[in-house]
A and B are shown apart, each in its own frame.
Chain A
Amino acid sequence: MKDRTGSTRTTGDPDLSTLVDRATVDPEALARLHTRLEDAAARDGLLDVAYTVVDSPVGRLLLAATEKGLVRVAFHNQDHDKVLDDLAGTLSPRVLRAPKRLDDVARELDQYFSGARRTFDLPLDLSLSHGFRQLVQRHLPEIAYGRTLSYGEVARLVGNPKAVRAVGTACATNPLPVVVPCHRVLRADGTLGGYAGGAAAKSVLLDLESAA
């Protein structure tokens, strides 16, 4: 409460502090009101970006969706607060924690991580990437579950065999990791290559898919 200092008279007045303390509201009331706001915002078309955070074998995942579809998946090590700031800056400041819109995504991810799902059937919003990067990301789901390609092979796949480095950048900047399977792209020598979620997360995903 930054402006509380504006009232010098009130500080040091125990009665008044008691009184203000007694006005404290309980967390349950706030939680219930938050849910009500999520519903009303969705109903009125104000929920430009809904997000939630879910647990997974590769750590906490931030999931964000616009009205068009899933727009961002972020690993814990990508700093969720910063990711939300970026979404507010690039898409809309109307960003609200509203798990309901992410229910389908969360369910399909659960199925994927338990080995019961091989492809995702979700509406995607690719508006966070453009041009060649988006082209690459559109093609990545063509790499089948449990298979891998090298960066060079993906460059050929998208019809630009010389763009090996650009393919690497496109994978590194994939706004929808796991769902858009950039983890299935490896170095030509078979080593892992980079991954936004860290090498360990990439291994977990590849192991999961090779075990199934």
Chain B
Amino acid sequence: MKKPFERVVEEHAASVLRVCRAVVGVHDADDAWSETFLAAMRAYPDLPDDANVEAWLVTVAHRKAIDITRAGQRHAVPVADLPERPSADGLPDESDPDLWRAVKALPEKQRQAVAYHHFAGLPYREVARIVGGTPEAARRAASDGIKALRTTLSLKGATTP
């Protein structure tokens, strides 16, 4: 028997938001999160009871992120009909701008691998299933991503605990 969807939101809202911030950037993360959970709520009754819910949500978020990235590339110019969005015009709740800027600067594969493995906690096997390629390639991408982040950030992060 399935637990109430509210409990899925409670348990996974934060990690999915981190994943969204990492893969589409802080500015589009709210949209990606909203579309992910709405799609998940739609499909939830049909989800097998033994499914790995976190992996399922990250898979949905991954697809939504691709949609959002493509849409952003398609109409980067027009401003007429902005999607409804809570007032905040700047970057909403950008708790750590340096971190998100550094993550955003990573190549796509590294960004996804870091997000899905380190932020969402999925094993490399699951990461590989979502992004394609082998678990070993996913592990390398995450490792390279972390190395790059360490170079960009670690000095600040490590010296002031």
Contact = CB atoms under 8 A, between A and B. Distances in A.
Interface of A: 1-4, 6-7, 9-10, 14-16, 18-20, 22-26, 28-30, 32-34, 36-37, 40-41, 44, 46, 49, 51, 84-85, 87-89, 92-97
Interface in B54-112: 54-55, 86, 92-93, 95-96, 99
Contacts of B92: 29
A6 B123 contact: yes
Interface string B6-24: 1101000111011001100
A1 B121 contact: yes
Interface centre among B3, B6, B153 (most CB of A within 10 A): B6
A19 B118 contact: yes
A7 B117 contact: yes
Contacts of A93: 2-5, 44-45
15 contacts: A3-B54, A3-B55, A10-B118, A15-B158, A16-B118, A19-B149, A22-B96, A23-B96, A25-B93, A29-B93, A30-B14, A36-B30, A84-B4, A88-B1, A96-B9
Contacts of A26: 93, 95
Contacts of B130: none
A40 B40 CA distance: 12
Contact of A40 (B15, B34, B93, B154): B34
Interface size on B, as a range, is 35 or more
A96 B41 contact: yes
Contact of A3 (B96, B121, B161): B121
A6 to B, nearest CB: 3
A95 B92 CA distance: 28
Main secondary structure of the interface of A (DSSP, over half): helix
Interface of B: 1-7, 9, 13-15, 17-18, 21-22, 30, 33-34, 37-38, 41-42, 44-45, 52, 54-55, 86, 92-93, 95-96, 99, 117-124, 126, 143, 146, 149-150, 153-154, 157-158, 161
3 closest residue pairs by CB, A with B:
A6-B123, A95-B4, A93-B2
Nearest to B47: A93
A24 B7 CA distance: 19
Contact of A88 (B3, B13, B119): B3
Contact of B150 (A15, A84, A85): A15
A29 to B, nearest CB: 4
A12 B130 CA distance: 27
A88 B4 contact: yes
Nearest to A27: B14
B156 to A, nearest CB: 10
Given A18-B157, A22-B99, 7 more contacts: A1-B15, A15-B154, A18-B158, A25-B93, A36-B86, A88-B2, A96-B9
Given A3-B123, A19-B118, A25-B95, A41 B38 contact: yes
Nearest to B125: A6
Contacts of B30: 29, 32-33, 36
A40 B36 CA distance: 12
A46 B42 contact: yes
B38 A37 contact: yes
Given A3-B126, A30-B14, A84 B6 contact: yes
Contact of B99 (A4, A19, A87, A97): A19
A41 to B, nearest CB: 6
Given A19-B146, A23-B96, A33 B17 contact: yes
